[in-house]
């Protein structure tokens, strides 16, 4: 295992272990560095301007065109939680949000309608997940997507605390019979307003948190998809992946992330073709100790990590390198039914996602 990956695995395991035992002393950044990073981010984003308004609402039912007319089952209940990347801040239309894109994609693969319920909020951190879960449980979700972590970095949340709260949210959802897919912390090193050397620090810290999140989520019974390493190179090279603030993704950026996550959502519901009737790992995919798998995923594009082995001892995980798919109907408006409003309190602090 390369030296950087081994070091990332050790740090991630220490953070995850501290989270499991209630420790809160392991920070993502030293106080001085974190303060400079936060100040630099706020100054840069203030110079460009914050995005105004709330993310567009997208709750409703998707996929009537894909469903079998003879299928009388109710729609699959899909839940989105987390920060503004889960809510879709940065786009103008509901069908451009990641929730709508993935609801439509899931409906096309499952050939079944999907009902989306989004409780994500701009500025949210891992400490906000418990409240989001409480509000969402009456919805009786079958599949939940969580996207969180960037604000834990920029607002200096203790790493072990953030990871532990994420693990608690996953465990609560799994206890309610809901499958969970977590898009791990994005690569903050791609944010243009943050300049080197702080950009390099942000990248390292983002990957450390993503690896620790992966360990905690897998051991709580969920699965993760690495977004940081996927979005980093593409976002860095393609300015159109960012919204006007050069901080949040644009419609194209969200579509890229959704394409990476769609196969994992389908696999979680066992509607991905290769999952049907299969047991055990797929040939060619790696089965590794959880910490090693988490460290590898943090540096590999679009990698899924899911536990293998007995449910009571999730110490081994499988890395899956899934093919990214185009999203059906991504360029056209889907047909969401009227539904409850999202819980978006606003844009949050400068530098909050």
Write the DSSP assignment of 227-260 as a string of letters.
Answer: -HHHHHHHHHH-GGGB-TTSSSB-HHHHHHHHHH
Measured CA distances, 297 to 163, 216, 319 (Å): 17, 14, 7
- The catalytically annotated residue of 59, 117, 245, 264 is 245
Question: 255 falls in which pLDDT band (50, 70, 90)?
Answer: confident
Task: Flag whether pLDDT at 48 surpasses 50.
Answer: no
* Domain-wise residue ranges, the chain: 3-321
**Do residues 83 and 184 make contact, with C-beta atoms less than 8 angstroms apart?**
no
Least confident of 122-126, 138-142, 157-161: 157-161
Per-residue pLDDT at 284: 46
Q: How many residues does the chain have?
A: 353
Percent of the chain with pLDDT over 90: 37
Decide if 187 is catalytic: no
Q: Which of 27-41, 221-235, 292-306, 322-336 has the highest mean pLDDT?
A: 292-306
Closest CA to 173 of 267, 268, 79: 79
pLDDT digits (tens, 9 = 90+) for 5-36: 676 677 777 776 766 655 544 455 454 555 56
User: 3-class DSSP state for residue 174?
Assistant: helix
What element of type H or E holds 288? strand 286-289
If phi over 0 gives left and psi between -120 and 50 gives alpha, with beta otherwise, what is residue 60?
Answer: left
How many H helices and E strands in the chain?
11, 9
DSSP of 27-42: BSS-HHHHHHHHHHHH
Average per-residue pLDDT for the chain: 77
Residue with tokens 């419609």, as numbered in its chain:
251
Per-residue pLDDT at 74: 95
Per-residue pLDDT at 107: 95
Closest CA to 124 of 80, 167, 92: 80
Decide if 248 is catalytic: yes
- The catalytically annotated residue of 95, 117, 248, 344 is 248
Q: Which residue has the higher pLDDT, 2 or 295?
A: 295
Question: 348 falls in which pLDDT band (50, 70, 90)?
Answer: very low
- The catalytically annotated residue of 41, 84, 160, 343 is 84
The structure's pTM equals: 0.80
Write phi, then psi, for 119 (nearest 5 degrees).
-115, 10
Least confident of 52-66, 182-196, 207-221, 278-292: 278-292
Residue 43 tokens, joined: 């100054």
- Provide the CATH number for the domain formed by 3-321 in this structure: 3.40.50.1110
How large is the average pLDDT for residues 317-334?
62
Per-residue pLDDT at 32: 53
Measured CA distances, 346 to 42, 56, 317 (Å): 17, 12, 37
How large is the average pLDDT for residues 282-295?
75
What one-character DSSP code corresponds to residue 273? G
Closest CA to 336 of 32, 86, 102, 83: 102
Per-residue pLDDT at 133: 98
Decide if 245 is catalytic: yes
Task: Flag whether pLDDT at 46 surpasses 70.
Answer: no
């Amino acid at each position: 295992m390369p030296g950087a990956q081994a070091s990332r695995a050790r740090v991630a395991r220490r953070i995850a272990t501290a989270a499991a035992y209630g420790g809160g002393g392991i920070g993502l950044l030293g106080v001085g560095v974190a303060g400079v990073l936060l100040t630099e981010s706020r100054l840069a984003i203030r110079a460009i301007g914050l995005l105004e308004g709330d993310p567009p609402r997208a709750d409703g039912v998707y996929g009537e065109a894909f469903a079998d007319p003879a299928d009388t089952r109710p729609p699959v209940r899909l839940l989105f939680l987390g920060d503004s990347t889960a809510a879709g801040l940065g786009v103008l239309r509901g069908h451009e949000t990641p929730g709508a894109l993935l609801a439509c994609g899931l409906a096309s693969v499952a050939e079944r309608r999907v009902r989306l319920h989004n409780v994500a909020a701009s500025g949210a951190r891992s400490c906000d997940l418990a409240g989001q879960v409480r509000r969402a449980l009456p919805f009786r979700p079958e599949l939940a997507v969580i996207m969180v972590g960037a604000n834990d970095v920029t607002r200096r949340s203790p790493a072990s605390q953030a990871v532990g709260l994420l693990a608690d949210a996953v465990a609560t959802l799994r206890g309610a019979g809901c499958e969970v897919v977590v898009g791990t912390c994005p690569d903050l090193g791609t944010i243009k307003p943050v300049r080197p050397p702080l950009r390099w620090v942000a990248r390292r810290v983002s990957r450390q948190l993503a690896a620790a999140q992966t360990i905690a989520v897998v051991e709580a019974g969920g699965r993760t998809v690495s977004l940081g390493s996927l979005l980093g190179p593409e976002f860095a090279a393609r300015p159109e992946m960012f919204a006007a603030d050069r901080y949040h993704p644009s419609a194209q950026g969200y579509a890229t992330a959704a394409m990476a996550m769609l196969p994992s959502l389908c696999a979680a519901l066992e509607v991905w073709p290769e999952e049907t009737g299969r047991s055990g790992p797929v040939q060619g995919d790696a089965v590794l100790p959880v910490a090693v798998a988490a460290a590898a995923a943090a540096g590999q594009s679009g990698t899924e990590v899911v536990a293998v082995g007995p449910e009571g001892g999730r110490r081994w995980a499988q890395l899956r390198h899934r093919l990214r798919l185009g999203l059906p109907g991504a360029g056209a408006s889907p047909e969401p039914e009227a539904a409850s409003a999202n819980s978006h309190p606003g844009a949050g602090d400068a530098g909050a996602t």
